[in-house]
Structures are given as C-alpha cells and as structure tokens.
Amino acid sequence: MTEQPKQIGRFPIIGTLGVGGMGVVYLGKDPDIGRKVAIKVLHTTGDKEALERFKNEARTMGEISHPNIVILLEYGIDDNKPFLVMEYLDGLSLEKWINQPHTLEEHKKVLLNLCSAISFAHRKEILHRDLKPGNVQVLPTGDAKLLDFGIATGENTGLTATGFFIGTPKYLAPEILQDTTHTKSSDSYSLGLLAYTMLSGNNPFATDTFEATMTRLLTKIPVSLNKINPNIPIELSNVVDKYLDKNSEQRPNSPKDLQMALELIVKPIVLKKTIVPNADSKDLRSQERTVLIGESPKSNTKWLALFALFIVMVAAGLFYKNYLDNQTAMELSKQKIAKEAARKKAEVLRLKKEAATKAEKEKQAVQELARIEKLKKAAQEQKEKLAEISAKQEPQKRPVQKPKKKPIQVVKKPKKEVNPVVEDEYKPPVIVYQRPKKKVNNKPVFQLPQLTHNEKKVTLKTRSDTQISRGTTKSITIELPIGITIDNFKIMRGLSGFNQVEIRKIKNLQDNLVKITLYAQSNASMGDFSLIGFYQNKKTNPLLMEVTL
C-alpha cells in the first residue's frame, strides 16, 4: 500500500480518493484559494508506455473544455513523479449510482450530458476509448461529468496497447477484438452499452471470467430494454439496440441518434416513472439470441477471423499456463512439503508450550491454595490467643452501692456540708493492653479464574454489495448484534489469509453498524473470499465476498 504523502507540489494532501492500475488519486487543497482539488499521481515512471499515456491524458484534457468533462487545472512533476491537478467533483460514481432506483428523468439527464461530452470530444477528433460507469461522476445536481482520458487519442492514431487491446473488457466494441483500431463507432457502442446497463441495472455481457465475457460479447444479443421494463419507451429501447449492433458499419457512429431519442421523451407521466435496477440477470439471459455466422453474409469473413483469433488467444493462454505449471510444479511441491513440515513442527512446539504452561499454572494454583489454608490456620490460632489474653486481663465487676435516700427535714438553719464523703466510691480498674508478639498479616486478595465465554457464535450481516473490482477501493456496511464489539477483522480464502485484498479502514457507525473499507490489488485473483471477525478469541460467521474483473 502506497503511503499517503503530506504534500504534492504546492498542494497539501487531505486524504485518498481512490487507487487504480496506473496511479493514485488524492484529495488536496489549493493553498492560494482554499478550494479542494483531485490530484492524480502516476505509480511509477519506469513504465514508459504508462508514462506516455499519462502525458497524453494531460495533453488531451488541456485541449478540451466542456461543462460535462472534468477540468484539468495543472500539470507538474514532484519527486520524479508526474501528477495532474483536476477539479474535485462531489457526488457518486455512476457505478454506484446505477445500483439505486432513479426516475427516467434522472437517467435522461445523465445520458444527455454524456452524449454532449462525447459529441464535443469527437468534434475535436478525440476518442475516449474507455467509456464505462467508473469513468462517469454524477454530481449532487444530477448532472454528469466524463473522467479519465488516459487512453484517449485521435481516430486511427495514437498509442498501442501492451497485449491484445486497450480498455475495459466488459464495455469493448466487438471489432476491437479483431484489431486495435478504435473509431467513433466503437465509442458509440460503449455509450449504448452504458445506457443499457443504466436502464436495466446489469451489463448483459459480464461474467466471472474473461473468456466467458468475450464469448458473450461476440455471440449474444441482449434482450431489449422495453421487454425488461415496460416503463422504458419502445423508441428509446430500439435506438439502444441499434447502438449494440455487432456490425460497426450498421451502428450509429455518433451519440446524435441516442440524444434525439432522449429529447423526444417529454411527457411528465413517463419521465416520473421509477427505473428499479434488476439485481438478477439470469432470467433475462434465457431470452437472449445467439448470433450465427450465416446471419450476416457481408461480415462472414470478419467474424470467422474474429473467432479464429479468439480461439488462438485461448489456446495460447492454455499453452502458456501449462508451460508455467510444468516449470514450477516441482518447486511448488518442495515448497509445499517444507511449509507443511514447518507448520507441523510449529504446531508440536505450540502444544508442548501450552502443556508446560498449563502444568505450571496448576502447580501455582496448588501452592496458592496451600498458602491460603496456612494463612487461614495462622489467623485462627492468633484469634484464639487474643481472645485468651483479653479474658485474663478483664477485671471482675462489682456492683456500685447507691446511697439510701433520707427523708427531707425542715430546719431553720441548714448546716453547711463540708466535703461530704461518699462511701464505697467506684473506681474503674486500669486495663493494660498487651500487643501480640507477632504481627498479623492483612487478609490476602484472592483472584478468581477468568470466566470463559459460553455464548453462541456472533453473527454478522452485510447491508451492501459484496463484490469488489480489481484495483478499486470499496466500503461495505456490516450489522453487528446489539452490545457486541468486534476485536479484529481478517480476510481469508479457504483456511489461509488472503493478502491480495486489504482492510484500509474500520469505522464504527450508529445503530450497531460497522463500515469497513477494502482495497483489491490490481493483480488480485478473482473469486470468492471471506471476511471474518474475532470476538473474545472466537470467530464470527464468515461473510462471503467476491473479487471481480
């Protein structure tokens, strides 16, 4: 994990907004005017291609100025690392915005903003080439801004990808798998797929593996939006279908058609309808159509080449994987055996240490009980001696004789009494207290053994989505039982720790909720992992989570 710097250039750093494959985005403050800014810093300058893309993003953003495109404020180099200073945008990423219900009017506003931004970039002969929900920010006003022009370039020119393609696999146009040439039509396909994902709540081509995603992208035609949700006008649904045409020549090459279809939706009763995201797309996929090679004679050769290239790619990947497996199988086996032997040895040492500690504690307990009994016996003997001494020193009490009352005699001249004598005047005896020869110790304080926790296993519940993409940071909310405080959280895969997903921050909220911020490394292996809490040395139930592409 990259340590957060205190300052970049002339900008003090307040916090971290996100971590991506190329760099980190920090939240900073302009020392001159006090406004917040977003500062994007490249991870390393060793990758020449990444450095060139970073500079290309600065050049591209410097050429365009549009209300729906993020504004570049400054470019600089600090500690040999280039950085971009952009305006700070409040609100939600479209990736999170999609998961919440919104009216058709709100969807229309966001899509029109994106159409305007992409049309402006195309007029400047600039292709974005990576349109996806993660590169769109929805402001509190409902407006949207387009971000991340790191791989943007002019049509038919620009940077070459390291590998097979540039962009996000789930939002690629089909022709990009045939060659690396991006066109305006490719951007239009990504825009149409973005609109489909917003209005349906699902990307129709997303799967758990790269190969399956590419196969669906090449062969499946998704169900029309109007069939998924009748609240979506049929005219808008038909236009989105045109943008998802797999033949780039028959697809619109600009956002104009989608913009016109959106502007024609003006009835308040239609605009006020709520679009609820569909969380489960399995039922929808049963209604999809599969593209056959013979359906489009003009593109037979193109699709045959496309499938052949895809098969070669899969075969090459499998061959390379088998080669690596053969090269490392023996080394991994040796490491596994050595690791298992070390684990068993450590377990034996731990058990021996626990047994010795237990025996020592039992011995100390026996000695403590014997000492307590001895102290009790000594205290009883001392008490008896003190009682015996006190009994010997106590004097014999004798009754005091009270003088008899004499009758009152009336005399003329009373005689003066001079120092009358009281017979048998009582004088209390003097008691001399003798201290015992030996001092008595104070009573010892006894420590009871710590009680064990016999309650049932603590159950955790999650209130948020449990999927996290590679190279992203995500916050999840966990509900705890009332009165329970979790001592620690760990991330596991199977019986072992899973260090490719890190816990960045743990924050206690109201109503017995805990907010945990996770980060999945860009090279994290996809699949399930578990989040487990520890309460008084006991494990909670595991929360099943997933790393996605």
User: Which residues carry out catalysis?
Assistant: 130
Pairing of strands 72-78, 527-535: unpaired
Coil, helix or strand for 168?
A: coil
Structure tokens at 412: 């003329």
Instruction: Report the C-alpha dihedral over residues 10, 13, 16, 20, rounded to 10 degrees.
Output: 20
Backbone phi, psi, residue 144, to 5°: -125, 150
Structure tokens at 151: 């791989």
Alpha carbon 32 to its chain centroid, in Å, reads: 34
Structure tokens at 437: 């020869």
Q: State how far the alpha carbon of 24 is from the alpha carbons of 42, 180, 206, 373, 386, in Å.
A: 7, 27, 26, 68, 81
| Alpha-carbon span 353 to 332, nearest angstrom | 31
User: 490 burial class (0-12, 13-18, 19+ CB within 10 angstroms)?
Assistant: middle
| Cβ neighbour number for residue 32 with a 10 Å cutoff | 8
| Alpha-carbon span 206 to 229, nearest angstrom | 20
Are 512 and 482 in contact by the 8 Å Cβ rule? The answer is yes
Are 41 and 81 in contact by the 8 Å Cβ rule? The answer is yes
Report the candidate in 179, 252, 169 with the shortest Cα–Cα distance to residue 217.
169
Coil, helix or strand for 49?
A: helix
Report the candidate in 278, 207, 287, 196 with the shortest Cα–Cα distance to residue 245.
196
| Alpha-carbon span 232 to 237, nearest angstrom | 7
Dihedral sign for Cα 163, 167, 172, 173, please: negative
Are 250 and 183 in contact by the 8 Å Cβ rule? The answer is no
CB-side exposure of 277: number of CA atoms within 13 Å? 17
Report the candidate in 181, 282, 164 with the shortest Cα–Cα distance to residue 223.
282
CA 324, 325, 328: angle at the middle one, nearest 5?
80
Are 84 and 72 in contact by the 8 Å Cβ rule? The answer is yes
Spell 244-257 as b/e; 16+ CB within 10 A means b: bbbbbeebbbbbeb
Are 457 and 539 in contact by the 8 Å Cβ rule? The answer is yes
